Structure 1
Amino acid sequence: MTYPAMLRYLLFFSLLLGTTATWAGIVRGKITDPKGEPLAFANVAVRGSATSSASNEQGNYQLRLEAGAYEIVYQYVGFKPRVEKLTVAGGDTATVLNVTLTPENYNLGEVLIRASDRDPAYAIVQHAIDWRKYHRAEVAAFTARMYIKSIIRLTDVPGKIMGLVKVGPDIKPGVVYLSESLSDMSFRQPGKIQERMISSRVSGSSKGFSFNRASKSFNFYDNLLQSGFSERGFVSPVAQNAMQFYRYELVGTSVQNGITINKIRVTPRHRIDPAFSGFIYIAEDGTWRLHSLDLSLDSNSGIEYVDKLRVEILYAPAPATRRPGLFSRRK
């Protein structure tokens, strides 16, 4: 028996496309939903650059920018992206910009499904599976500076562990582990990764060392993913054999920047299958790429130490120029 706990990861990539000698101003604010509730771990990015950040658990964010005009893109899984234009003044200045994001409306059009028909989601997912190898090998190489924040929170504390060992009064619900790390990572096909940790910090411990590793992050274009909380691997919803493990349901569609985004509910075919539950969002952009994910694993999945592991990923194009003909489609 383990303490009921929730683990969440915050991970964002900042591609090293250049360096900046000085910072001139700060842009900060809070990101909330229409009810005023904070949106934790929302993505905040400067359009056309490698500069990005993310909101904390209270929805607060901060960016350091040189003087100039910018377009800031705010994104959160399941919500409409929002773009704000602003000008950062020179000198040691601060610009406060609070942002409210609204949920995206995913409407299910008139689709006639007979009892013998499969849900339209299966055809969409099959397209994504057909393009999986292409997206997995799409980027030949990159270098990134990566920030990871790991939080372990106890949602409840039992009176005894395994009914035998009494839990002391010093163990209470709340955050019991908080670590941050900054590292440089380089990647080159096929799967060659090098990572150098620049700094790490564990809250409440001057000698604590973070075990965060950017190179251990999930890649849902792999067939099998390792959670770190189980010896078994878990099947990606777009793995080559995913349809043996998942049921799919088209919840609805939305149009973003002229591209149709399909919201699809995924559930394990059997209660103890090594599979995720939640939603995947697939873009009809000609390559059927993953747009975003909101997935979770629980005790039925076979994870240990925590009751639930939730993974939220929002994919975005890297601010780099692709040379025509550099990549080709492969199945």
Structure 2
Amino acid sequence: MNKIQKLTLLIFFIFYSLAGFTQTTVKGIVKDLQTKEALGFCNVAIKGTKRGTITNIEGVFSISVNAKTDVLLFSYIGYEPKSVEASILMQKKEILLQKKELTLKEVVIHSNDEYLYDIIEKCRKNLLKNKAERTAKLYFGLETRSKLLSVEYPIDNRWTSLKIDTAQLQIEKPVELLECYYNAQLKGSSVNELGFKNGRTALASNDNYFLNMGSSKAICEISMTKDNEMFPEIPFQLNKRELRKKFFVELSYFDGKYYNIKFHPKNKNNNSFSGEAWIESQTFNLLKINLKAENTAVHPFLPEFPRDSIYNVSFDITNTYKNDEELIVPDHFIFNYSITYHSRKDTIFLYMKNMTSEIKSKSIMYFYDYDKPFILPYFEYTDKLFGRDDYNKISFIPYNEAFWNSNNILLQTEKQKQEYGLLSNQGELINYREGNYSSNFLGYLPGRDSLKGHFDFFYPFWNSHKRVVPKINSDNFKTYSKEKINSSIRSDLYNLKVQIMLDIVESGDSILCKTYTIFDNEQTYYHLPLNFYSNAFFNIYFDIWEIERRTMQDKLNVGNLKISQINEIYNNTIENLNTISEKYIKEVNVGENEKMLKKWNDYVFDSISHIYLRNCKTLNHKICIFLKLLHHEKKGIISLVVKVISPDTNLHFFFCSSDAKPNSNSWLQAYREKIRQRSKCRLLLL
């Protein structure tokens, strides 16, 4: 064989090998063979791997496969499993599953109460014994719909129903769509903790927002084996003696592999779940459980306002488990509930009105990629703000386009797509685009700035157009008395805390990094007297961290970095910043050393063109507190914005321009003269 033939063969082999590993996204739908009804939440796995997905409620799925070699496995409790080659699925999108055959003889043999209680007891012991700790990725999706039942106003000391078009009543409308990704810390079949990765939500106003503020946490707190005061009683929480006392049980069917046991409470107080469980016959492992409760008084819901009330609470919960490395682990949880919400609201025209609405919420948690968790954002936040609330995290952790493009584990249904379009036109989309983080979705009012951050006080992101200002009426910035200051160690009276958030996204073979500089007002405190230098002291410190973040981002943008290299760059940056910060704080002496503050102001100006004016007394006692430079390189113009505060609290803004070049010394004198003439101010530049 000559060299040309060898080279041709080598090239052919390389291209053939690459083609053999080409990934293709396939989409299909799973249905019942006889009824042709869609099978929602059916498991779809790639044979020989741990990769897989799940169908949405319409039975539709999408998964990346090797069309030449992969085989897909479809499994659904109560149905025969089915395997389909990916190449066939490329042509035939519909997968039909056959229901398992059930024999009456098998059912009769095992329909014995004592035997069924024994099965449940053995299953309970397995659940209690399973304490293996695992980590998995978690998709959490939620949708909420609202139906207005009545509106009443007080007229002549009586509540009178408002006469409105009945077409406006009894119509369900979407009010909330929520998607989040987490890392789930698991212990056996239970979820111990959730670590937030990213999330987004679409909201509509139905006279007010309706938010499931802590749904993910509440769902995870449902324990199969431990009593929970927030939910009705579950059979597996009881020993055999208690179980016989409180629950009726019956065998629905036995297919040779699974027992399907139904249960319902003997007491009619609505404090216990009814439902059914699927238990493996050989191992007595729990594979699936459905829990139902109607009009129960045991629930985790609280009205938003004291005058509001919640009643008619119903649950429909389904937990499905699977075998993974010979252990039973969560596969997916479905959490549906409905409530009647009665609110009493003040109005502009009348004193108050009564509104009654029916709220229905459906959510799913899908656990996947066991022992391959997300890399969570590098940031230290406390449980005080983020311990339970999904929305707090959504409003804070920035939207990451690369993450959402590479994570689409559960397809939206056609109905959800329509509702998303409706909410995007008539409601609010939170964290659906770059720069939309920290959106104040809880405070939208006509005329308000919709980009104002819900956590502007706690966690301001560095922004070239905004400066941080201490909230003087907060405990963190309460000025101590002279006696307390004199009796304290000076360094104990203040602490500046800035963090750099690093968000890492693994997309295929690529690793993408985004960073943000964040002023941590929760951990920052300052108990010395606030003066003209204080704001400059805070903001220059903030700017120093932003300068180093930019340098770090440039290093991270090089590409082809490993996680270990990214961590090294990040840790070195933080270590360097701690050194610089310590030097800055020592030199400027909380801003009282004007010479050193001027030096650091020059350092900041050289990098990000920020200058701060302090201690600028005027002939009429005006104080100039902030100055900002904007350099238009193309036009060769520098613009200066000065904000002046008068004793009468009026704000005055001056905008000046100059044709002077950036490196000229004459522009500052020109600006000083212009501002002096317009505001009668004498400016002192630090």
Q: Distance in 2 between matches of 1:210 and 1:25?
A: 38
Letter in 2 for 1:240: L
Residues 35-65 of structure 1, C-alpha deviation per residue, up to 9 Å, x if partnerless? 2222222222223433222222322111123
User: What does residue 149 of structure 2 align with?
Assistant: 158
More strand by share: 1
**How far 1:143 sits from its partner (Å)?**
1.6
Kept after mapping to 2: 8 A contact 1:119/1:248: no
Q: Distance in 2 between matches of 1:165 and 1:53?
A: 49
CA change 1:145–1:269 in 2 (3 A) is: same
Q: Distance in 1 between matches of 2:187 and 2:285?
A: 21
Secondary structure at 1:235's aligned position in 2? coil
> With structure 1 as the length reference, what TM-score do the two structures score?
0.69
User: What does residue 328 of structure 1 align with?
Assistant: none
Q: Are residue 272 (structure 1) and residue 273 (structure 2) matched?
A: no
User: What does residue 43 of structure 2 align with?
Assistant: 43
**How far 1:245 sits from its partner (Å)?**
2.7
Instruction: Please point out which of 119, 127, 141 is paired with 2:122.
Output: 127
Instruction: Please point out which of 134, 137, 151 is paired with 1:142.
Output: 134
Q: Distance in 1 between matches of 2:275 and 2:143?
A: 21
User: What does residue 4 of structure 1 align with?
Assistant: none
CA change 1:49–1:240 in 2 (3 A) is: farther
Q: Distance in 1 between matches of 2:320 and 2:174?
A: 25
**How far 1:181 sits from its partner (Å)?**
0.9
User: What does residue 612 of structure 2 align with?
Assistant: none
More helix by share: 2
Q: Distance in 2 between matches of 1:161 and 1:53?
A: 47
Q: Distance in 1 between matches of 2:189 and 2:85?
A: 39
Q: Are residue 292 (structure 1) and residue 288 (structure 2) matched?
A: yes
**How far 1:282 sits from its partner (Å)?**
0.9
User: What does residue 177 of structure 1 align with?
Assistant: 176
Letter in 1 for 2:233: V
Q: Distance in 2 between matches of 1:78 and 1:308?
A: 26
Kept after mapping to 1: 8 A contact 2:190/2:220: no
Letter in 2 for 1:51: R
Q: Distance in 1 between matches of 2:222 and 2:202?
A: 28
**How far 1:200 sits from its partner (Å)?**
1.1
Instruction: Please point out which of 98, 101, 117 is paired with 2:97.
Output: 101
User: What does residue 198 of structure 2 align with?
Assistant: 199
Q: Distance in 2 between matches of 1:234 and 1:87?
A: 47
The gaps in structure 1 that reach 5 residues or longer are 1-21, 226-230, 323-331
**How far 1:85 sits from its partner (Å)?**
2.8
Kept after mapping to 2: 8 A contact 1:25/1:88: no
Secondary structure at 1:127's aligned position in 2? helix
CA change 1:220–1:247 in 2 (3 A) is: farther
RMSD: 3.9
User: What does residue 83 of structure 1 align with?
Assistant: 83
User: What does residue 236 of structure 1 align with?
Assistant: 234
Residues 130-151 of structure 1, C-alpha deviation per residue, up to 9 Å, x if partnerless? 333113x1x2x21211101112
Q: Distance in 1 between matches of 2:64 and 2:215?
A: 24
User: What does residue 224 of structure 1 align with?
Assistant: 227
> With structure 2 as the length reference, what TM-score do the two structures score?
0.36
Over the matched positions of the two proteins, sequence identity in percent amounts to 16
Kept after mapping to 2: 8 A contact 1:265/1:278: yes
Kept after mapping to 1: 8 A contact 2:191/2:221: no
CA change 1:62–1:282 in 2 (3 A) is: same
Q: Distance in 2 between matches of 1:194 and 1:87?
A: 40
CA change 1:321–1:130 in 2 (3 A) is: closer
Letter in 2 for 1:248: V
User: What does residue 11 of structure 1 align with?
Assistant: none
**How far 1:29 sits from its partner (Å)?**
0.8
Q: Which moved more, 1:78-87 or 1:291-300?
A: 78-87
CA change 1:95–1:27 in 2 (3 A) is: farther
User: What does residue 228 of structure 1 align with?
Assistant: none
